Structures are given as C-alpha cells and as structure tokens.
Structure 1
Amino acid sequence: MKAVINSTPLISLAIIDRLSLLDELFEEIYIPNAVFKETTRKGKRKASVIEKWGENRKADVLDIKAKTALGLIIDEGEAEVIVLAQEKDIGLVIIDEDKARKVAKLNGLNVTGTIGILLDAKKQGKILQLKHSLDKLLTEGIYISEYLYDNALLLGKEKR
C-alpha cells in the first residue's frame, strides 16, 4: 500500500522515534514538497531527522490549479497531500487536521492519521504499547483530545 503524508503526522512520528513504522506499514510514502519544506525548515522540531528520512520521498505536485483551489480552504501542505494522492492514484492520505481530513474524504480519499498509524502498528505487532507513544506525544506538546486518547486506548485494548 502507498500513502501521502502531511506535516503533523510526520513530525509526530519523528518526535516519538517511529518514522520507521511508515517503512514497515507501507510500500511507499510520498512527501509533497510543501510538506517537506515545512517540516525541514531550520528550527523545526526533528527537522534533520525528517530531512534525512524523507529526502528520497519528496514529490512534486503538477496540478497547480487544483492545489491553489484547495489552498483557499486548507493550508498549502494539506492541499499538496490531496492533489499528489490524486495525481499518483494513491487512495490513502495521512493527515491529522480535521478540516483537511474532511476535504480529503470529499475528494474520494481514505484518511488515517498519527493515531491510526500507531493502531495499525500495534495490531500488526510492530509496537507493543500504544499508551506510551500517546503519552510522549502529549508530553511533547502534540494535541490529542481526551476523547481521541480514550478511544485510541479502547481500540488498542489498553487501559488509561
């Protein structure tokens, strides 16, 4: 399976040292140029880790009109994720932001996010515990609603 990833999941997985899960779960991951630039900017958390891991996964968006149109309602990186997925005929995008997830679904794409990746990894035995990763994300300032946290633990068959 192939996927196109947005900034927040990329940064979140880097923060918890789990970028390798993307290689384990997917045959190919694409990072749109706008996302790559955003996540590797000087001063961004884990920029050097993401740059090293993602250098050969960067991809250009060709349909600038579609990107511009989507850019009126979501940010540039999210727009590039959706357009790139459509251009490469990839049905899955990895996006955490709610509005962009809705736009991706309206454009016929399947959506997962950081927590979805972690849940898949746990189901496949690639990580043993979900709670530790979620707690580290929270400690590092990544927002996870209480509902999402509790639901993830429930789906992962773990206790709070």
Structure 2
Amino acid sequence: MKDSRTFIDASTIIALASIGELNFLKKIFEEINITPHVRSEILVENYPETNRISEAIGEWMKVIEINENNLKKYEKHGLGKGESSIIDIARKDDRLVLDDPVARNVAKVNGLNFTGLIGLIVEASHAGLISSERGKKILDKLSSSDFRMTSELYNWAIKRL
C-alpha cells in the first residue's frame, strides 16, 4: 500500500497565508500536495500572501499532475476545478482538507477522508502538534480575516481547544 498523502484546497492555503500562518501546514504535515488547478488559484498576483505561497511550492508543497478529462464528471456538482482535481486524484487512504460544503459532500460520497481548516486546527492541538493557545490564536486571526466561519463553528473549536 502506498503512503497516504495530504491534499489541501486553495481556500485553506490562502486563509492561512493571509494571516501569516502558512507554516502551520508545514508543522502539521511535512509535505502537502496540491494540483495545478489549486496552484493557479493560490498564486494570484498582487496579494501579499502570493510570495509566501510561491516559496512553499517546491519546498514542502508538491504539485501533482492530474488527468484533465476526469474533471468533467464533477461539473454537475458545481465544484471548482481546484476542489474537483484534489477529489479526483485522492485515494481512499489520502487526507483532504476541504472547506467547501459541496466538495465535502462529494468527497464523502467517494469514501474519502477529509476535514476542514477549523477541524484541522483542533486535531493538531489534540495531537500535541500545536498548543491550545496557538490554536486559539490562529482561530482568532481567522475570525478577524476574510475567512468564512460561523460563530457556532468558532465556539465549537474554542471549546475543544
């Protein structure tokens, strides 16, 4: 059996980079995988986080090539190409970090393991990879940013940290 891989969607990478916490992913996973579509979504010019993300690609973010023809089957679900590409390339033993509700449903139907960014922060704290205080700091930064998070989700995470 091949080693499991971790695939991260664009919204997670952008959210963490925009609050200066991109290295959180590096601390949790030695290497993460993205697809060319995710890469094009996260390397948008004129954003401050673009430079940080560019430096990570090739260092600890690995771009995995995909078969473009396989993405057509996800169009009916309304998924973006980034989410479609990581769902398509993922194996049953891989791990996905997805925040889009539709993408999560498609991943679930396909029997894939996934979590969202907030769940990942809580899991990292429980595993001793980050302190509870660091987890709360990241959550607070995310809640003050453009990252979409309900107050219920925030409160859920704070209770578990």
TM-score band (shorter)?
0.7 to 0.9
Q: Distance in 2 between matches of 1:8 and 1:29?
A: 14
Counterpart AA for 2:107: A
Query: TM-score, normalization: structure 1?
Result: 0.85
Mean CA deviation greater in 23-32 or 138-147: 23-32
Amino acid at match of 2:81: E
Confirm or deny: 8 A CA contact 1:8 1:96 kept in the other structure: yes
Task: Name 2:102's counterpart in structure 1.
Answer: 99
Q: Give the direction of change, closer, same or farther, for the CA distance of 1:65–1:109 in structure 2 (3 Å limit).
A: same
Report the equivalent of 2:19.
Answer: 16
In structure 1, the residue matched to 2:150 is 145
The structure-2 alpha-carbon separation of the partners of 1:127 and 1:18, relative to structure 1 and needing over 3 Å to count, comes to farther
Instruction: Confirm or deny that 1:82 pairs with 2:87.
Output: yes
- Name structure 1 gaps, 5 residues minimum: none
What is the TM-score when the length of structure 2 is the normalising length? 0.85
Secondary structure class of the residue paired with 2:90? helix
Could you tell me how far apart the structure 2 residues matched to 1:91 and 1:85 are?
6
Q: Does 1:114 align with 2:149?
A: no
Distance 1:40 1:90, change over 3 A: farther
Q: Distance in 2 between matches of 1:71 and 1:46?
A: 29
- Post-superposition offset of 1:19: 2.4
Percent identity of paired positions between Structure 1 and Structure 2: 27
Flag structure 2 segments of 5+ consecutive residues without an equivalent.
none
Alignment coverage as a number of residue pairs: 153
